[in-house]
């Protein structure tokens, strides 16, 4: 029985269905990270809203991770329109008081398996070059993502967009 | 009085308002190019639909070019959420029987001026590495866009995404 900090991994519940209450929970998770602006938080919430309205046709898919009966982390991802098998990972966020316990890694691996099962072969993640994101970038690199492209000054002067990619080994 | 092929440039009408009839017209323009799949055509039409539903809050802006009383070309563009002043040019298309007369260049320049007036300082265009797009890429390069990044196999094996950018000189 593997242990992830204060609770057993056997207590983790996975959910892919979206509930209207997720919008509020996701806002909380994203705000708790202290990383994102109010605008960015609204963008994350809009993706849930879009999914609730349009279902799978929205192109947005979610994996929710519940630990100790709390929504503790989630990913939002989907196939990139116009591509054969490329997926975007739009969001991965872990609630602040659940961080540092390896949940992000478990969640990302679960998400990669799901993407593979949906026919995906490449996963793209976009992030910022700001120092604030060094731990985030280290995390992606440790999980096998490599920085394939840099768009200089994309977000604002001296704030580049870095595009990471991971090729899934179809077995 | 400059002449652009069979009609005078003085006959060109510009329009930024979106009409419900534009969905049908845009489908025709895009299909007439012979470049795009049915799926891609539907994506282009959806952006018009989204704009009709949500107005400027959709994030999609358009410039329509009417020549000889026909909708002959259009661009769709908008600010990239989460960036200070970066814009995407989502679509530029010229109706097949109006091509080769320099309308694309005039339309793109008009669009760049509009983006500048909206506070934009960088314009991104994404395109495919397929040979079919060589004239398209030559056109962007002639207009001052440079290929900043390549995402290998993005669209499908051996079909890369090329990201072009042009920095607007704010005067």
* A10 confidence band (pLDDT: 50, 70, 90): low
* B1 confidence band (pLDDT: 50, 70, 90): very low
Output the CA angle A119-A125-A127, nearest 5 degrees. Answer: 175
pLDDT mean across residues, chain A:
91
Residue range A16-49, pLDDT digits in tens: 999 999 999 999 999 988 878 888 899 999 999 9
Q: Which residues of B touch A35 (CB under 8 A)?
A: none
CA B80 to chain centre: 15
Residue pointed to by tokens 């500048």: B116
Q: Chain A to chain B, count of Cβ pairs less than 8 Å apart?
A: 57
What the block records as the tokens of A120 is 């995906």
Pick from B82, B86, B151: which is nearest to A165 by CB? B151
- pLDDT value of residue A12: 87
Is the pLDDT score of A5 beyond 60?
A: no
Contact criterion met (CB < 8 Å) for A151 and B148: yes
Residue range B152-168, pLDDT digits in tens: 999 999 999 999 999 99
Closest CA to B95 of B7, B20, B3: B7
Cβ atoms < 10 Å from Cβ of B86:
22
Minimum Cα–Cα distance from B148: chain A residue: A151
Q: Which residues of A touch B149 (CB under 8 A)?
A: 148-151, 163
Is the pLDDT score of A6 beyond 70?
A: no
Strand, coil or helix: B80: coil
Residue range A71-95, pLDDT digits in tens: 999 999 999 998 999 999 999 999 9
Is the pLDDT score of A1 beyond 50?
A: no
List, in order, residues 6 or more apart from A17 with CB less than 8 Å away: none
**What global pTM score does this model have?**
0.87
Which ipTM value was assigned to this complex?
A: 0.85
What the block records as the tokens of B157 is 């094996």
Is the pLDDT score of B132 beyond 70?
A: yes
Expressed in angstroms, the distance from the first to the final Cα of chain A is 28
Distance in Å, alpha carbon of B40 to nearest chain A alpha carbon:
7
> Which of B32-36, B90-94, B149-153 is least confident?
B32-36
- pLDDT value of residue A164: 98
Residue B59: which region, alpha, beta or left (left: phi > 0; alpha: psi -120 to 50)? left
- pLDDT value of residue B169: 79
Q: Which residues of B touch A128 (CB under 8 A)?
A: none
């Amino acid at each position: 029985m593997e242990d992830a900090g204060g609770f057993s991994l056997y207590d983790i519940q996975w959910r892919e269905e979206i509930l209207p209450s997720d919008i509020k929970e996701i806002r909380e998770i994203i705000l708790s990270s202290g990383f994102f602006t109010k605008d960015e938080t609204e963008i994350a919430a809009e993706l849930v809203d879009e999914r609730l309205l349009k279902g799978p046709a929205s192109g947005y898919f979610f994996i929710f991770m519940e630990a100790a009966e709390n929504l503790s982390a989630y990913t939002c991802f989907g196939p990139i329109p116009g591509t054969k098998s490329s997926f975007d990972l739009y969001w991965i966020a872990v609630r602040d008081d659940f961080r540092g316990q390896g949940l992000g890694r478990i969640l990302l691996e679960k998400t990669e398996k799901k993407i593979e099962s949906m026919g995906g072969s490449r996963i793209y993640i976009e992030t910022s070059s700001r120092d604030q994101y060094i731990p985030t970038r280290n995390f992606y690199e440790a999980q096998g993502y490599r920085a394939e492209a840099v768009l200089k000054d994309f977000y604002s002067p001296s704030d580049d967009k870095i595009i990471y990619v991971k090729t899934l080994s179809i077995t």
